[in-house]
Structure 1
Amino acid sequence: MDTPDGYKAELIRGKIIVTPWSKFYCFPPMESLQEQLKAHSPEGHVATFAPFLFSFPSAGRAYGPDVFVVDRAAFLGKERHGNAEDLSLVAEFTSSSTKDVDWQEKLRVYGELVPVYLVVDMPAEEITCFSDPSPQG
């Protein structure tokens, strides 16, 4: 799907949701997190905040995490979206427009498959780490 410049599309609850990319003030903390994750990423994984979607077929969702760590081999295929099973960590930077989805829906969906989910609550200036996922999220 082609989106207007500065916007991304995600599949949430069977609907295509178009939202603006992160605000510029998010860049320093995103870059800082990416740099810290690079030093601790699993062998063969890359930490980035590049604009890619990852599909979660069992939940009927596709998300573009703000920052993520993924197996480098995920980029070798010809698919349009990455496979969520290749993710080892995702981080979402909350805003007033995404806070509910980041704290509720994405927590459940990421919690079914992604080993580590960080919620970076920008307004509260807090980071919450969820790990050890289960089939129930």
Structure 2
Amino acid sequence: MTVMAERPTANGTEPHDFEELLDTLDELDVPDGYKAEIIRGNIVVSPWSRGYYTRVMRLVCQQLEPHLPEGHQIERAPNLYVFPNVERAYGPDIHAAHAKAMETADNHLDGEALSFVAELTSSSTRDDDLTDKVEVYGRAGIPVYLILDMQEEQATVLWTPSAKGYESHCTRPFGEKLPIPEPFDCLLDTTGFSAP
């Protein structure tokens, strides 16, 4: 397996179906500082986030937690959410779902149980965060997808999921407040999201 810092790479194996990909992902020995996801039929390995991303993720969680739907929880834990209908498995940077969805011994969580997902882009993941994940999260019916574009220093919230991805979106530069729609119905203050 080759791992590059600038662009995620596939591990070189080509299993015949999604279940085999999941099995391979479970057995994969990913180097420290990297995570693995299934994107477009490939196992993609990319570097973990920069240090200041932790601050940004914590700020998002602190602001959204009081507005979570009843019974839901928001996490930054590295969980793998599976979307078998489109053969994808993502480990979002921030995710919210009903607590029942996480009450399992399985490490493959149901992607359709998510109520919110956020991705912080990096040079190696930005394209997938802005394209593939928009379509997959929207088609799965996830009510809110937040993209924190760390390269452009802007936040985009997408909602109204549909078969094409999302029908509605709003973008604000870091430092401004971004409206987060139902089921959260709050303002996200993006002050403090920029690089040090």
User: 1:43 and 1:128 mapped to 2: Cα distance?
Assistant: 25
User: Offset at 1:80?
Assistant: 2.1
User: 2:123 and 2:101 mapped to 1: Cα distance?
Assistant: 31
Match in the other structure for 1:125 = 153
Residue 62 (structure 2) pairs with residue 35 (structure 1): yes
Bigger helix share: 1
Residue 82 (structure 2) pairs with residue 55 (structure 1): yes
- DSSP-derived class of the 1:73 partner: helix
- DSSP-derived class of the 1:109 partner: helix
Match in the other structure for 2:73 = 46
CA contact under 8 A between 2:79 and 2:107: conserved in structure 1? no
Residue 168 (structure 2) pairs with residue 134 (structure 1): no
Residue 6 (structure 2) pairs with residue 3 (structure 1): no
- DSSP-derived class of the 1:97 partner: coil
User: Offset at 1:78?
Assistant: 2.5
Q: Which runs of 4+ in 1 moved over 6 A?
A: none
CA contact under 8 A between 2:75 and 2:94: conserved in structure 1? yes
User: Offset at 1:47?
Assistant: 0.8
Larger CA Rg, structure 1 vs 2:
2
Q: TM-score, normalised by structure 2?
A: 0.67
User: 1:82 and 1:37 mapped to 2: Cα distance?
Assistant: 21
Report how many residues are paired. 137
Residue 101 (structure 2) pairs with residue 71 (structure 1): no
User: Offset at 1:127?
Assistant: 0.6
Q: Which residue of 110, 113, 118 corresponds with 1:86?
A: 113
- DSSP-derived class of the 1:22 partner: coil
User: Offset at 1:95?
Assistant: 1.2
Match in the other structure for 2:124 = 97
- DSSP-derived class of the 1:133 partner: strand
User: 1:101 and 1:92 mapped to 2: Cα distance?
Assistant: 10
| Identity value in percent | 48
Match in the other structure for 1:111 = 138
User: Offset at 1:108?
Assistant: 0.6
RMSD between superposed Cα atoms in Å? 1.0
Structure 1 unmatched ranges of 5 or more? none
Match in the other structure for 1:24 = 51
User: Offset at 1:33?
Assistant: 0.2
